[in-house]
Amino acid sequence: MMVKTEELALTNDWDKTFPKSDKVDHKKVTFVNRYGITLAADMYTPKTTEGKLAAIAVSGPFGAVKEQSSGLYAQTMAERGFLTIAFDPSFTGESGGQSRYMASPDINTEDFQAAVDFLSVQDNVDPERIGLIGICGWGGMALNAAALDTRIKATVASTMYDMTRVNAKGYFDSEDSSDARYAKRQALNAQRTMDYKNGNYALGGGVVDPLPEDAPFFVKDYYDYYKTQRGYHPRSLNSNNGWNVIGCMSFLNQPILHYSNEIRSAVLMIHGEKAHSCYFSKDAFANMVKDNPYTDNKELLIIPNAVHTDLYDQVDVIPFDKMEKFFKENLCK
């Protein structure tokens, strides 16, 4: 490959929000996407398995880093026999890309495909047995990648957000009008002018802190994860100053799941019954199976009483047994 790998500042410390497992080997790795951005990842390899392994790339939640939820998922699935990587998306965490704290439905879908590129050429990976796990906003990116990349044989979308829908229509589609979108465009474009004049990008702020007494439940839910010892990380956008104000601007015009009903590979969607975001998975699943002749390998699993962030880190709630069975059935045939 002609693209040069960017020099990244990678920490060698175990700075995760979860304890290190003695059942897997861990190391930092890097790989490059087709835009020339170097991505940083934690690789987890099971100690007791030999030969060419089935592999899984993991990322998310939206505004998190690999030291949080995605790393927990990756390490746990490695304990169950898969080679896994948890990566920081472009412009975030330890990964490269300028300007920082930007998001892109195209580039972030490409990040998953670049992870597949990387896994496909590892000596201890079977390139015909590669899957994805996307959490929260990266659940939508994982589904988008699965619709595009025929190398992906199985995908799990956990506590999924459709970031294009929520940006364009607001929560529960409460801002779904041309006037509401026009007002957003006006504000974002005014911010662009201001940022250019100032020579830097204004940050939008992460999860609100201190937490207002009248904050809606889903804000409290995010606070309990990102702003407490449970899930805080110094590189996490949501734990600190958030995305740039204009960081998600392109999501307004980009419905990422338009071709989800052409996904032929296996998909497992998981969501908490009590999650404010559950409608994203219910609607996305309905759209994915509509007029799709490949529905026998698609499943929506609703977890009773679980809220959105329960599926970030609550190991007694995240259905790892179900996920292991799903991947073994669809990657290990």
pLDDT for position 48: 86
The average pLDDT across 97-113 equals 97
pLDDT for position 71: 98
pLDDT for position 317: 98
pLDDT at 49 over 90: no
Query: What does pLDDT average to over the chain?
Result: 96
pLDDT for position 305: 98
The average pLDDT across 72-78 equals 98
| Each residue's pLDDT tens digit, 285-324 | 999 999 999 999 999 999 999 999 999 999 999 999 999 9
pLDDT at 127 over 90: yes
pLDDT for position 3: 64
pLDDT for position 8: 94
Phi, psi of 288 (to 5 degrees): -70, -35
Residue 194 CB-half CA count within 13 A = 12
The average pLDDT across 217-244 equals 96
The average pLDDT across 269-283 equals 98
Consecutive H or E run containing 301:
strand 298-303
Contact present, 65 and 88 (Cβ < 8 Å): yes
User: What share of the chain in percent tops pLDDT 70?
Assistant: 98
pLDDT for position 271: 98
For residue 136 the two structure tokens come to: 């929260």
pLDDT for position 214: 93
| Each residue's pLDDT tens digit, 17-45 | 999 999 999 999 999 999 999 999 999 99
The average pLDDT across 71-78 equals 98
pLDDT for position 333: 63
Q: Tell me the C-alpha distance between 311 and 95, whole Å.
A: 24
The average pLDDT across 260-280 equals 98
Confidence of residue 221 (pLDDT cuts 50, 70, 90): very high
Q: Tell me the C-alpha distance between 71 and 59, whole Å.
A: 8
Q: Which of 80, 69, 88, 91 is nearest to 135 (CA)?
A: 69
List strands edge to edge, sheet with 125-135: 24-32, 38-46, 83-87, 53-59, 125-135, 152-158, 266-272, 298-303
Confidence of residue 149 (pLDDT cuts 50, 70, 90): very high
- Alpha-carbon separation of residue 157 from 23, 136, 193 (angstroms): 25, 8, 36
pLDDT for position 6: 83
